[in-house]
Chain A
């Protein structure tokens, strides 16, 4: 509302955030867990003077750099790019609240980059102790980066007491902070081991070395799976009531939650029976299956974490349709079109007849020709609803949801969406504007599917 809305056909622009985020998390967790793997195992290989293992670790470090420093780092920047485009008000709010949190993360990010390159490019040229220390600098920096960014992303789900006092630390150390740090740390351990298995089963031919790699990585993976479950339970316990209700109410989320626990349990059992008890079992096919299951669990978890926030982007701070909750009463009085920077400019430029001086005269909106009313209804849809709904076809397309509805049914939904579905934001416009939106939705709603038999005359 403060900013222009970016219309992405079919998907809706916020879905791009989800896509880029999923592309990022499958590597960012490895960037943390993999760093710890390299630090611990390089130290172990030096202590045991295992030249074969050291050679493998150097090979893995190159793979690690190619995946994390390039893809991981750039997709991380890609999230920044996308949130600013698709969710500018929430980004504005977060950056004004946590710029120093991001600044701190940046410091550790610099340490990660420098230490990762030195760790790899000076392999064999640094004293073992120094080399291992550099590995630990990477590992610790990467984990602190995880902690710092988790404080901010967890804040979005449960802002705790921040809305009352707006203190940085209160927001950062929010109720979701510890559970999400636990879950993400566990995810990092688990995913790193799965990456190692995938890499090692393809690259290492010597059975003894392969078994060593498998068994050494099994314990962190098992511990990771336990941390994921513990963190997940904490996450559930510290969800705001609305998020917990959304989790129960949305059937898609029910299915996904079952999927997460089923996949995590399957991975745990497979880890225990495979790499932990019988390292020789692990084949490339087994590793691919493992990896696929790990990615499924991580990406599903991220999707659920995002989805339960509705109707907020930042709980009780920014609504999912780019409005601050405290703006709603005024918008209901003066009008959404009037309150929106870009919507008001559009109305003033294209419908000067509805302007009364510098303000939109709400009553005049309904005096416009029918086609213009529908068009303004579409403008309202773009700015008020397109965050979560495509129009006629695509992601959560509203036309498909109101197929066959009468105008009265649509009007009732438009006037009180939060009563129909508590995870929708409330209507933030005048009754006249609700009428415009109703007319637009009625115009795009397809008829009730023909040929359905309800026991009446055929």
Chain B
């Protein structure tokens, strides 16, 4: 069966905005989502482990991250809506079939997310009240593992979106009179495992970079010893993440990419992007190295921005690879556009106004933080 036969027709409505606009918001949204998502993906498991096994400062680090985790999760879930929204606008012809083929695992995500989120609240509330029993600790560990499992399901879905060769086999293996029963996973795709692992490596680096930012901006009430310890820990963690990212990235690029994708990304002008994506984590690493004797606000700010640059480059490269993989089956850039100008303008205007209101609220928080406790 030719997988191209399983791609449905284009929408008669067309794109509501040019493709570049849709893909810009999709990529920007994904990069923004990745920041908090990385903190619960790798940071949470690290925090619950170090909260038990770590030394004095490591336990303090874990407690700090865990205390912030409910807000981090809320922001991350929220920021994840944007890329999902724009994915469905431009990639609907492959997104819906891929999710339906793995309908039950995909459907289970929101239940798992609810459980994991409340698990974090149970752990954190007990931590704040100093009533952290063994059972509540277990709840926290389970929540951390569930978040990693959710990442695995996402990796399955987004790899299945481009792995159309697998569709006929998965469909024929899981159907009732031609209707999908929805129990499939994309585990036969060689790109799945390195993609999943690569994101974990990236998440370790983001957690490390955040440790420096947190120590510089939000840990004013912590001891001098803690603030001295934090960058050293961040350096070790970033180094670990860097090695992890490099190994899994090498596996992904040289072990699983098809020759056409490799030729596109490693030859011609895009080699610059690929090289930047691979080398970019070196900049935050150097910035953390420069702070190993003590964080400074300026360098910590640069560290945070550089890490966002790492995530953004990663998101851009992923997007180009996704389109290259899909180009064998369909051209997502070729659909007609029926521009919805006035709703687009209202959306952008509200977006700017919303950012302004958020900035005002954050300013109130900063003013409150400066007040004596």
Contacts and interface: CB of A to CB of B under 8 A. Distances in A.
Interface of A: 2-8, 13, 16, 20, 66, 69-71, 73-75, 77-78, 80-82, 84-85, 88, 91-93, 95-97, 99-104, 106-111, 113-115, 117-118, 121-122, 125-126, 130, 134, 137, 166, 168-169, 324, 341-346, 348-349, 375, 378-379, 381-383, 386
Contacts of B101: 4
B7 interface: yes
A226 to B, nearest CB: 31
Interface stretch (B111-119, B249-257, B277-285, B291-299): B111-119
A96 B110 CA distance: 24
A115 B361 contact: yes
Contact of A106 (B5, B14, B85, B118): B85
A74 B117 contact: yes
A102 B85 contact: yes
Contacts of B16: 96-97, 99-100, 168
Interface in B63-113: 71, 74-75, 77-78, 81-82, 84-86, 88-89, 92, 95-97, 99-101, 103, 106-107, 109-111, 113
Contacts of B25: 103
Given A104-B346, A341-B9, 20 more contacts: A2-B8, A3-B97, A4-B101, A6-B180, A7-B181, A13-B103, A16-B107, A77-B113, A85-B107, A99-B17, A100-B347, A104-B347, A107-B353, A110-B354, A110-B358, A166-B13, A342-B178, A348-B1, A349-B1, A381-B177
B179 interface: yes
Nearest to A122: B368
Nearest to A109: B78
Contacts of B71: 117, 121
Contacts of B347: 100, 103-104, 107
A387 B11 CA distance: 21
Contact of A70 (B89, B118, B371): B118
Tell me the interface secondary structure of chain B in the complex.
Answer: helix
A82 B77 CA distance: 17
A77 B111 CA distance: 10
Nearest to A339: B9
Contacts of A110: 78, 354, 358
B327 interface: no
Contacts of A342: 6, 171, 178
Contacts of B107: 16, 81-82, 85
B110 A78 contact: yes
A85 B99 contact: yes
28 contacts: A7-B177, A8-B182, A70-B117, A70-B121, A73-B74, A77-B110, A77-B113, A80-B81, A81-B107, A82-B107, A85-B100, A91-B88, A92-B92, A95-B88, A100-B346, A100-B347, A103-B351, A104-B343, A107-B351, A109-B78, A110-B358, A168-B340, A344-B5, A345-B1, A345-B6, A349-B1, A379-B179, A382-B176
Interface in B113-170: 113-114, 117-118, 121, 168
B371 A125 contact: yes
Report which residue of B14, B121, B361 has the largest number of chain A beta carbons within 10 angstroms of its beta carbon: B361
B106 A106 contact: no
A95 B85 contact: yes
Interface in B340-359: 340, 342-344, 346-347, 350-351, 353-354, 357-358
A168 B364 contact: no
A375 B338 CA distance: 41
Interface in B198-238: none
Contact of A85 (B17, B86, B106, B358): B106
Interface residues of B, number: 74
Contacts of A78: 110-111
A92 B12 CA distance: 10
Nearest to A382: B179
Nearest to B16: A99
Given A2-B9, A345-B5, A69 B179 contact: no
Contact of A96 (B13, B168, B175): B13
B99 A71 contact: no
B108 to A, nearest CB: 9
Interface of B: 1, 5-9, 11-17, 25, 71, 74-75, 77-78, 81-82, 84-86, 88-89, 92, 95-97, 99-101, 103, 106-107, 109-111, 113-114, 117-118, 121, 168, 171-172, 175-182, 338, 340, 342-344, 346-347, 350-351, 353-354, 357-358, 361-362, 364-365, 368, 371
What are the 9 closest A-B residue pairs judged by CB atoms, nearest first? Answer: A2-B8, A7-B179, A78-B110, A100-B343, A382-B179, A378-B177, A107-B354, A88-B96, A96-B13
A81 B340 contact: no
A38 B115 CA distance: 27
A248 to B, nearest CB: 33
A324 B14 CA distance: 15
A109 B81 contact: yes
Report which residue of B86, B100, B118, B362 has the largest number of chain A beta carbons within 10 angstroms of its beta carbon: B100
Contacts of B350: 104, 107-108
Report which residue of B101, B168, B179, B182 has the largest number of chain A beta carbons within 10 angstroms of its beta carbon: B179
A104 B12 CA distance: 24
B203 to A, nearest CB: 21
Nearest to B373: A125
A344 B8 CA distance: 11
B167 to A, nearest CB: 9
A96 B354 contact: no
A365 to B, nearest CB: 14
Contacts of A104: 343, 346-347, 350
B6 A77 contact: no
B42 to A, nearest CB: 21
A257 to B, nearest CB: 31
A384 to B, nearest CB: 11
A74 B77 contact: yes
Contacts of B368: 122, 125-126
B179 A85 contact: no
Contacts of B85: 95, 99, 102-103, 106
A379 B171 CA distance: 14
Contacts of B8: 2-3, 341
Given A4-B180, A81-B107, A341-B5, A134 B361 contact: yes
Contact of A84 (B7, B88, B172, B364): B88
A104 B172 CA distance: 41
B110 A74 contact: yes
B28 to A, nearest CB: 12
Contacts of A107: 347, 350-351, 353-354
Contact of B84 (A6, A80, A137, A341): A80
Contacts of A99: 16-17, 85-86, 89
Nearest to B182: A6
A7 B176 CA distance: 7
A223 B136 CA distance: 43
